[in-house]
Every structure is written in C-alpha cells, then in structure tokens.
Homo-oligomer: A and B are copies of this chain.
Amino acid sequence: MCYTGGMDSEKTIRQIETALAELLPSPEGEAAALHAAMRWAVEGGGKRVRPLVCLAAAEAVGGAADDALMPACAIELLHSYTLVHDDLPAMDNDTERRGRPSVWAKFGEDTAILAGDALQALAFVALAKTPVSCPGVRAGLLSILGEAAVGVVRGQAAELAGSKDVAYVYRHKTADLFVAAARMGATAGGGTAAQVERLGTFALHLGLAFQHEDDLLDGDSPLGRVEAECQVREHTDAALAALDGLPGDTSFLASLAARLATRKA
C-alpha cells in the first residue's frame, strides 16, 4: 500500500521495523528457539497498519510521531502474538501465514504457544521503555494497552463460542487493537482527553471498516455482500468525520481510511 499524507510511510515502516528488531531478543543462548520463533512471527511482513495509526495519531494531536514509537511497537507485538496463537492447531489450524510457514508449523506447537506468550509480555516491556514527559502518560498507555489485550481475547472467544453478535465480535476481535493504537498515539503525543477519545472513535470505525472489507475480500461476510459494503462505507465516513477539528496533521489518517476501504488485498 502507498499512502499520501504528512508521514512518509515507507520510511516510517522502516523506522518501526528497526525499533521492533531492537526490542526482540537475539536468537541465541538457552532459549534460542523461542527467540527465533518470536522474530519469525514479527518479521514476517504485514502492513504495519496498527503502528502507523499509532504514530499518525500522535501527529494528529500536534505531537511528534517519535513520541509514540514504543507504543507503536507494543501494539504490533500484541497483534503479532494474537496471530501466532490464532494459527495454532487447536485454534484455526493454519500452517501458513503471509506466504510462509506459520510459527507452529515451523517451530512446533509448544514453542509457538511460548513465543506468543513472550510477544505479549514484550509488548508491555515496550511500554515500560516509552519516554514520557508527563507522569500520567505512562499510566494512560498501560491502561489502554491492558484493556485492549483483554478485549481482543474476549472477541476471539466470542467468535469461537459461535456468537451471533457480529458487532461484539468485530468490536473486540479487530477494532480493539486499532482503538488502542490510536488512543496510545494520541496520549503519547500529548493530546487532551477529548482528543484521545476523538481518535479512539476514528479508530473504532476504521477497524470495523477494515474487518468488513476483509470479509468482502475473503468472500465470507456473515452479513452478506450488500450489507457488508454498506458497513464499509458507513464506518469509513464515520472515521473521516471523527478527524474534524483535530489540531495536528490528519492527512495520513484520512488517506489511510480512504485506502483501506477500497483495498484489493
């Protein structure tokens, strides 16, 4: 994907990936296989949409993207762990992820369980490493990430239990991490409580549009094609509306919302 806007997304993605590589343990020592599996999970590519949202949210409130680099890594580590556990035989039983063997297929089921566990822990280590100017900021970040980390599991559990409440499942399974990304970015960027909420609303609708678009691309929307297309449009519009009146540069987030709604993969 190519984005227009204030941030140079290629350069920003490289910056995120460098920071992730520094956070991840090197694949050596007594726990070498674990460390290799953790790296395999995170270095497998992906669009890095959530960390980009986090950095752009810091800019949207008038802060610097750099202030949100550790929270951006945290949300990507958390997202990565959920994929590792989702792919397990007892869950979706996927042997491939992004054109490569999934973590359990390559490293074994036991190591994959542990790698997911350690990636979740590492997300919170990244938060501990966030430089903050105001002491309340870290408390805010921890609260946001902790609640999202519980929420995303809740969404997966509801889906697993065959919940018919699509709104509940999508809100938690998918949107919770987008919302946390945006709220953490706005918090780290020095946003007011109202601005943090505004960006949370943006990300909620972005996440829901993203999930409905995913269903359309996979051809398996539980709502049917017409209703899913309607949901994508409505949530994209609501996301864009939430950006009105923010003090910083919102062009990246606006372009992201527009692009996600019309993506082809």
Contacts and interface: CB of A to CB of B under 8 A. Distances in A.
A194 to B, nearest CB: 21
Q: How would you classify the secondary structure of chain A's contact residues: helix, strand, loop or mixed?
A: helix
Contacts of A118: 149-150, 153-154, 157
Nearest to A153: B118
A160 B30 contact: no
Contact of A125 (B32, B114, B146, B155): B146
Contacts of A121: 120, 146, 149-150, 153
Given A114-B160, A128-B143, A153-B117, A30 B165 contact: yes
Copies in the complex: 2
Contacts of A82: 117
Interface string A90-122: 110000000000000000111101101110111
Interface in A73-91: 81-82, 85, 88-91
Nearest to A37: B157
A160 B110 contact: yes
A91 B90 CA distance: 13
Interface residues on A, range: 35 or more
A124 interface: yes
A183 interface: no
Contacts of A30: 154, 157-158, 161, 163, 165, 168-169
Contact of A153 (B88, B114, B142, B155): B114
A72 interface: no
Interface string A135-173: 110110011011101100111111011010100110000
A177 to B, nearest CB: 12
A146 B139 CA distance: 14
A54 interface: no
A20 interface: no
Given A157-B111, A161-B33, A146 B128 contact: yes
Contact of A90 (B113, B161, B169): B113
Interface string A182-204: 00000000000000000000000
28 contacts: A33-B157, A33-B161, A34-B157, A34-B161, A81-B117, A90-B90, A90-B108, A90-B110, A90-B113, A91-B110, A91-B113, A111-B160, A113-B113, A114-B153, A114-B157, A117-B117, A117-B120, A117-B153, A118-B153, A118-B157, A124-B145, A124-B146, A124-B149, A128-B143, A128-B146, A128-B147, A135-B138, A138-B138
Instruction: List 6 tightest A-B contacts by C-beta distance, closest first.
Output: A135-B135, A121-B149, A34-B157, A30-B158, A90-B109, A125-B146
